Amino acid sequence: MNFAGRMDFLQDKELLNAMELTETEDMISFSAGFPSPETYPVEDIKESFIKVLENEGKEALSYCSTSGYGTLREIIAKRMQDKFGLQYDKSEVIITSGSQQALDMSGMLFIDKGDVILFETPSYLGAVNALKAYEAELVAVPTDHDGIQIDALKEALDRYGSRVKLIYVIPDFQNPTGRSWSPERRKEFMDFIGDYDIAVLEDAAYSELSFEEQLEKPLSYYDKKGQVVYVGTFSKTFCPGLRVAWLCARHEIMEKYLILKNAADLSSSAIAQRQMAYYLQHHDLDAHIKKISKLYQERRDTMMKVIAQEFPKEAHYVVPKGGLFIWMELPENKDARELLKRAYAEKVAFIPGGSFYPSGVKNNEMRLNFSNMSEEEIRKGMRILGRLTREYLLEK
């Protein structure tokens, strides 16, 4: 059988494997970027489903409009205004089936074969997979502790010129590094990119999972000409099993997304959207987020403690102030894939850093998720990983 040319690019199965590994029982897995299932407010969700089916069962089981359930879109728009000062009208919000679908549709909307997409690097593997499918050249732009590097960005724009159609960034508690852009860098970036006619895809999946009081203003907040496409999701703050996320864009762009959403799956699940709206109207999502952020902060602390005790000092890392991940760097001559092999043998898993490079792969890094395992599992798994790392680093 003949397949489309794009299939030649889509060979990286790391994320796929990470997802399938979730079904392996006795693995201590620091791989996947999952929230912790014991935090799900199962009872409240059950109540919401019951109420939705009792009050509006027929509507909840029918097709939804392509843009999504109006009430939910209104609540989301208001919530983003309250939290981040973002001014989106309900008509500038569309519901997507997870934020992954929003990334996929963005490739569909902006990318022709041979176009260039700039990636803050390292970057989210799922975005790399989704956007690779549109046969773009993915170009890495390095990020430092304050965010994407503006001089490197300028260099890439000079080099690739009008071929650049999209810039993909995760300014808050970035996947995989856990870093956040400073407010100054956000402003600098938006000032700079405002001179170009290029769409910016802002992935805000982790933005609300902060361990500090103050949330940062998104890039979209500084956007004067409507070039930012903002993507949010309930998958990390609530639960991923409903597949309810959203995309915000100004009208000219939103019109096009609507056409693509319709082509992609007609509409997202009506009952999942109405359940979410009911929950938001009758329960306190902010209190829930506060609770899980506290839990994740404790787990981060536990992981940090074991790292400090058990890992060799040649393993570098930064303490993340939110999100789900720690990023660890081994000496340059070391390969995290080799370490992973040894870890698998002792039933511990993580994702080697090479998977997060859209181009110019480095293999001496690794991503460690701290949200999804219990403190006991974190202690046990990280001790094993620490010992294996020590042993590996001692080898020539």
- Type of residue numbered 131: L
Q: For residues 175 and 364, which CB has a smaller minimum distance to its own copies in the complex?
A: 175
What residue has token string 């080898």? 395
Restricted to residues 265-304, the positions that interact with its own copies (CB under 8 A) are 265-272
Q: Is 16 in the site for its own copies (CB under 8 A)?
A: yes
In the complex, what is the shortest distance from the CB of residue 117 to its own copies, in angstroms, rounded to a whole number?
12
Q: For its own copies, give the closer residue by CB, 109 or 280.
A: 109
Residue 109 makes contact with its own copies by CB under 8 A: yes
Beta strands 199-203 and 228-233 are: parallel
Does the footprint of its own copies cover residue 89 (CB under 8 A)? no
Query: At which residue do the structure tokens 């997870």 appear?
Result: 98
22 binds its own copies (CB under 8 A): yes
Hey, is 373 helix, strand or coil? coil
* Smallest separation (angstroms) from its own copies to the CB of 267: 7
Of 56-64, 75-83, 178-186, 212-220, the window that binds its own copies (rule: CB under 8 A) is: 56-64
Amino acid at 375: E
Residue 129 binds to its own copies (criterion: CB under 8 A): yes
Give min distance, CB of 26 to its own copies, in A. 16
Q: Cβ 308 to its own copies, closest distance in Å?
A: 31
Q: Looking at 27, 88, 124, 132, which residue binds its own copies (CB under 8 A)? A: 132
Q: Which of residues 192-251 bind its own copies (CB under 8 A)?
A: 197, 199, 227, 235, 239-243
Question: Could you tell me the smallest distance in angstroms from the CB atom of residue 379 to its own copies?
Answer: 22
By CB under 8 A, is residue 118 in contact with its own copies?
A: no
Closer by beta carbon to its own copies, 20 or else 89: 20
Helices (H), the chain: 14-21, 42-61, 70-84, 98-110, 125-132, 150-160, 183-193, 251-265, 270-282, 285-310, 336-345, 375-394
> For tokens 């915000």, what's the residue?
248
Instruction: Please report whether residue 176 would count as binding its own copies according to CB under 8 A.
Output: no
| CA 130 – CA 125 distance, rounded (Å) | 9
3-state SS, residue 209? coil
What residues numbered 60-79 form the site for its own copies, per CB under 8 A? 60-66
CB 365 within 8 Å of CB 336? yes
Q: Which residues contact 102 (CB under 8 A, 6 or more apart)?
A: 96, 229, 231, 245, 246, 247
The answer to whether 322 and 206 have CB atoms below 8 angstroms apart is yes
Name which position in 92, 104, 208, 329 contacts its own copies (CB under 8 A). 104
